[in-house]
Amino acid sequence: MDNTNFIMIFLDWLMSFDKIAIILAGSAIGAGLAMIAGIGPGIGQGYAAGKAAEATATNPDSSKQATMVMLLGAGIAETSGILSLVIALILLFGNPLISQPGDGLVIAVSAIGAGLAMIAGIGPGVGQGYAAGKGAEATSINPEGSRGSTLVMLLGSAVAQTSGIFSMVIALILMYANPLVNSHGSTIVVAASTLGAGIAMIAGIGPGIGQGYAAGKGTEAAGKRPKYQSSVIKTMILGQAVAQTTGIYALVISLVLMFANPLLKLL
């Protein structure tokens, strides 16, 4: 029995390091994981740029306007990449975890969890990029309705950011105020709960892409029929709120794991 439980061996091996060393190692992994979110803005902005090129060919007269709309949308699509960059930079340059009291392993896993949570940024990036592309397209088809369609694009994209924001909230809680750090349970359960809180947030990819799709279609609709802009916005936002549901499930599970963990009571 002594050497067969590889998890215990692994944990013992981890425990053999300095507390600071293991926290720094976790932070390094977390910073790297956070940057995976860059996938989203990359895809999204590429799509937007492609649509803007297409828009230029469709209507060369409004090319400049379409490019501006595309750049505006692409600037928004960058947000989740920037939020991830901020989390990574905090872990690298202003790490709040180093000075925290508590179990080193749990604190290290908090950093990894924060990084994992930020992966959700893929969704908003892709979705907002889609909306930006549709904005450029709408401008080329109907330059006069460009103001309205751009407005719908901005609103839709802002809502599509929601799951990325939830992820950032969880990442900030994990880094600055993880309640599990001070809990007295079995280390492996507490550490795994922290990790789980981060993993749950990855679900945000879905709502991000979905809401971005809604934003894109709303933009297209508002461009075609400017008269119905306010009902388009209302339908779009209501639909996006429903699309947020799974992201909210993830947020709830993540918060439960951290603040009202039922598993710790079973120990």
Residues forming the site for other proteins (CB under 8 A): 72, 75-76, 79, 82-83, 85-86, 89-90, 93-94, 96, 151, 154-155, 158-159, 161-162, 165-166, 168-169, 229-230, 233-234, 237-238, 241, 244-245, 248, 251-252
What whole-number distance in Å separates Cα of residue 259 and Cα of residue 180? 8
In terms of CB distance, is 241 or 260 closer to other proteins? 241
What separation in angstroms does the CA of 186 have from each of 97, 110, 180, 189, 259? Answer: 20, 16, 11, 6, 16
In terms of CB distance, is 15 or 242 closer to other proteins? 242
At what angle are helices 79-93 and 39-58 packed, to 10 degrees?
150
Nearest distance from residue 248's CB to other proteins, in Å? 6
In terms of CB distance, is 36 or 255 closer to other proteins? 255
Nearest distance from residue 182's CB to other proteins, in Å? 19
Nearest distance from residue 237's CB to other proteins, in Å? 6
In terms of CB distance, is 168 or 191 closer to other proteins? 168
Nearest distance from residue 198's CB to other proteins, in Å? 17
In terms of CB distance, is 116 or 168 closer to other proteins? 168
